[in-house]
Amino acid sequence: MLNFLIQTALPFTISALVVILITVIAEKYGTKIGGILGTLPSTIVVAFVFIALNRGVDFASESVAVVPAEMGINLAFLCIFALLAYKSMTTGLFAAFVFWIIFSSILFFTDMHNIYVSLALFFISMIITFLILEKVKKIKSQGKRQVHYTPLKIILRGVLTGAIIAISVFLSNLDPVLAGIFSVFPAILTSTMIISYREHGPDFSAGIAKSMIFGSSSVMSYATAIHFLYPSYGIVLGSIVGLVIAVLISLLIIKIRNKIS
């Protein structure tokens, strides 16, 4: 029973509580700041704390090496949705998920364990996707929006992400790369895109997508930090220092982002 709680129920509950804040922040502060704050490490923290508790810090460190590369795939996921959502939300989601499945499968079968290669793939993806939306398609950031949040909308958003994180922790029993890939499955990204699209249309969801791409470095920096910190400093100190680094990166991103249209 205790093992079940550690592997599924607790990560599910904690992740569900965290994720309901993501779109609310974007709505309150606009896509420029909201999208960046929405990419702060949240569910990934929960996922790897429980993976480390379940399999040990060395296993968690090995699992997290794939995360930057997988985040790069997620950025392409966002970019594809932002571009195709102008046709329809269904078209955007379908194309984005087809891309995610194909390239995540490639990443899994290459058995990615090299953090430096993983980081290189992330930065290549971030630069290309951001430039496509910022310079080629000239997607503009959007201002504040008011929206009525129903209890059902909040519950569904939390349940979706909580389930993904619980699955990620469970998969740590099978394969470290698979656990790492699912720890950043685009559940938050998908729910944020769907809700923002339905509430305010493709311009608003594309604006959030662009800022999320720019702000994704905070999650990447957290993943990189715990890859090196967990084996030497353990779960608690490694997570705290990783979060501090990620927050500092996010503050820097916000400062830079405010200077970009």
> What is the tens place of the pLDDT at every residue in 147-156?
555 667 767 7
* Average per-residue pLDDT for the chain: 82
* CA separation for the pair 38, 29 (Å, rounded): 11
* Model pLDDT, residue 32: 57
CA distance 145 to 204: 9
Say what the pLDDT of residue 193 is: 83
Handedness of CA 224, 230, 232, 234 (dihedral sign): positive
8-22, 48-62, 128-142, 153-167: range with lowest mean pLDDT:
8-22
Residues 17 and 69: their CA atoms lie apart, in Å, by: 27
Q: Has residue 123 got a pLDDT over 80?
A: yes
Percent of the chain predicted with pLDDT > 70: 80
Residue 14 has pLDDT above 80, yes or no: no
Q: Residue 1: what pLDDT?
A: 47
CA distance 210 to 174: 34
pLDDT of residue 227: 96
Q: What is the band of 61 on the pLDDT scale with cuts at 50, 70, 90?
A: very high
Q: Has residue 39 got a pLDDT over 80?
A: no
Contacts of 256 (CB under 8 A, 6+ apart): none
- Give the amino acid at 103: F
| Residue 60 pLDDT | 92
Give the model's pLDDT for residue 241.
95
pLDDT value for 22: 59
Separation of alpha carbons 112 and 114, rounded Å: 6
Average pLDDT over residues 113-142: 88
Q: How far apart are CA 19 and CA 157, in angstroms?
A: 7
Cβ–Cβ under 8 Å, residues 68 and 119: yes
Reported pTM: 0.84
Among the listed residues 216, 219, 198, 214, the one whose alpha carbon sits nearest the alpha carbon of residue 89? 198
Rounded to the nearest angstrom, the gap between the alpha carbon of residue 115 and the centroid of all alpha carbons in its chain is 18
Mean pLDDT of 249-255: 78
Q: What is the pLDDT confidence band of residue 63, given thresholds at 50, 70 and 90?
A: very high
What pLDDT is stored for residue 151 in this prediction?
A: 66
Sole residue written with tokens 């990443």? 107
Q: What beta strand segments (E) does the chain contain?
A: none
